[in-house]
Amino acid sequence: MGNFIKDRKPQDDPWTPYTGLEDVDNLPTGDVYVPFEEWQSQKEALKLRNNRLGVILENTDDVAELVPDFDRLDLVVLQFPKMADGRAFTQAKLLRERYGYTGEIRAVGDVLHDQVFYMQRCGFNAFEMRPDQDIPTVLHAFDEMTVTYQPSADEELPIWRR
Amino acid sequence: MYQYSQDDHQLLQERVSQFRDQVSRRLKGDLSEDEFKQQRLRNGLYLQLHAYMLRVAVPYGLLSSEQMRTLAHIARTYDRGYGHFSTRQNIQYNWPKLEDVPKILDDLAAVEMHAIQTSGNCIRNTTSDPLAGVARDEIADPRPYCELIRQWSTFHPEFNFLPRKFKIAVSGAIHDRAAVAVHDIGIRLIKKDAGELGLEIYVGGGLGRTPMIGKLIRDFLPPHDMLTYLEAILRVYNKLGRRDNLYKARIKILVHETGEEKFRELVEAEWQEVKESKLRLRDEDIKNIQAHFKDPDYENLSDFDSDFDKELISDPDFAKWADNNLELHKQDGYRVVYLSLKSKNQPTGDVTADQMDAIADLADKYSHGAIRSTHRQNLVLSDVRLKDLHSLWGELKTLDLATPNYNHLTDIISCPGMDYCALATARSIPIAQALTERFDTYDYVNDLGDISLNISGCINACGHHHVANIGILGVNKKGVEVYQITLGGSAREDASIGKIIGPAFTADKIVQAIADLLDVYLENREDPEETFLTAYRRLGPAPFKEKLYG
Q: Do B517 and B442 share a domain, yes or no? A: yes
Element (H, E) at B535: helix B532-539
Separation CA B403–CA B341 (nearest Å): 8
How many domains does one find in chain B? 4
Residue-level pLDDT at B482: 97
**Minimum distance, in Å, between the CA of residue B290 and any CA atom of chain A:** 12
Over residues B456-468, the mean pLDDT reads 95
Q: Quote the pLDDT of residue A2.
A: 83
> CA B348: distance to chain centroid?
13
Please give, rounded to a whole number of angstroms, the shortest distance from the CA of A145 to a CA of chain B. Answer: 6
Q: Is A89 within 8 Å of B155 when comparing Cβ atoms?
A: no
Same domain, B277 and B139: yes
Contact predicate B315/B380, CB 8 Å: no
For residue A22, pLDDT over 80 is answered with no
Mean pLDDT along residues B99-123: 95
> Taking CB atoms and an 8 Å cutoff, what residues of chain B touch A150?
152, 156-157, 279
Question: ipTM of this complex > 0.85?
Answer: yes
CB B57 within 8 A of CB B2: no
CA distance, residue B144 to nearest chain A CA (Å): 12
Residue percentage of chain A with pLDDT more than 70: 99
Phi-psi region for residue B502, left (φ > 0), alpha (ψ -120 to 50) or beta? left
Q: From the centroid of its chain, how far is CA A84? A: 17
Domain contains B46? yes
Q: Same domain, yes or no, for B280 and B328? A: no
Q: Which residues are bridge partners to B201 per DSSP?
A: B187, B218
Q: Residue B121: list chain A partners with CB under 8 A.
A: 84, 86
Domain assignment present for B65: no
pLDDT tier for residue A20 given thresholds of 50, 70 and 90: confident
Q: How confident is the model at residue B41 (pLDDT cuts 50, 70, 90)?
A: confident
Please name the helix (run of DSSP H) or strand (run of DSSP E) that holds residue B170, with its range, or none. Answer: strand B168-171
B507-524 and B532-539 are packed helices; what angle lies between their axes, rounded to 10 degrees?
A: 80
Are B165 and B239 in a shared domain?
yes
Give the residue, A1 or B17, on which the prediction is more confident: B17
The pLDDT tens digits for B216-275 are 999 999 999 999 999 999 999 999 999 999 999 999 999 999 999 999 999 999 999 999
Chain A residues with beta carbon closer than 8 angstroms to that of B18: 144-145
| Domain edge (last residue) among B233, B261, B292 | B292
Helical pair B389-398 and B316-325, crossing angle rounded to 10 deg: 100
Q: What is the reported pTM?
A: 0.96
Question: For position B348, which CATH number holds?
Answer: 3.90.480.20
CATH topology of domain A4-161: TIM Barrel (3.20.20)
Return the closest-CA partner of residue B224 out of A156, A81, A161, A27.
A161
Pick the closest to residue A137 from B181, B34, B25 (CA basis). Answer: B25
A145 → closest Cβ in B14, B121, B152: B14
pLDDT beyond 90 at A34:
yes
Where are chain A's structural domains? Answer: 4-161
Mean pLDDT of B129-143: 97
| E-strand stretches of chain A | 4-6, 9-10, 15-17, 31-35, 53-56, 73-80, 104-109, 126-128
C-alpha span between A9 and B417 (Å, rounded): 49
| Same domain (yes/no): B141, B267 | yes
Determine, yes or no, domain membership for B520.
Answer: yes
Q: Quick check: B141 and B223 in contact, CB under 8 A?
A: no
Give strand ranges (E) for A1-70: 4-6, 9-10, 15-17, 31-35, 53-56
**pLDDT at residue A154 is higher than 90:** no
Same domain, B138 and B277: yes
Q: In chain A, whose CA is at the least distance from the CA of B32?
A: A132
Is B41 in CB contact (< 8 Å) with chain A?
no
Same domain, B254 and B348: no
CB contact under 8 A, B161 and A112: no
Q: What is the least distance, in Å, from the CA of B436 to any CA of chain A?
A: 42
Q: Give tens-digit pLDDT for B414-436.
A: 998 998 888 899 999 999 999 99
Domain span at residue B19 reads: 6-59+76-110
CA A93 to centroid of chain Cα atoms: 11
Question: For residues B281 and A158, what is the distance between their CA atoms, to the nearest angstrom?
Answer: 10
User: Same structural domain for residues B460 and B496?
Assistant: yes
Residue B15: exposure state from Cβ atoms within 10 A (0-12, 13-18, ≥19)? buried
pLDDT score at A1: 58
Does B422 or B467 have the greater pLDDT score?
B467
From B292, B316, B351, give the residue that closes a domain: B292
Across B514-523, average pLDDT: 98
Which distant-in-sequence residues (6+ apart) come within 8 Å of B508 by Cβ? none
CB atoms within 10 A of CB B319: 14
Q: Exposed (0-12), middle (13-18) or buried (19+): which is B43, by Cβ within 10 Å?
A: buried
Q: Within B63-134, where are the H helices?
A: 65-78, 101-110
Beta bridge partners of B55: B92
- Provide the shortest C-alpha distance from residue A88 to chain B (in Å): 9
- Within 10 angstroms of residue A68's Cβ, the number of other Cβ atoms is 10
The minimal CB distance from A158 to the residues B160, B161, B278 is found for B278
- Say how many C-beta atoms besides its own lie within 10 A of residue B446's C-beta: 16
The A-side interface with B (CB below 8 A) comprises: 83-87, 89-90, 93, 98, 112, 114-115, 117-119, 121-122, 134, 144-152, 156-161
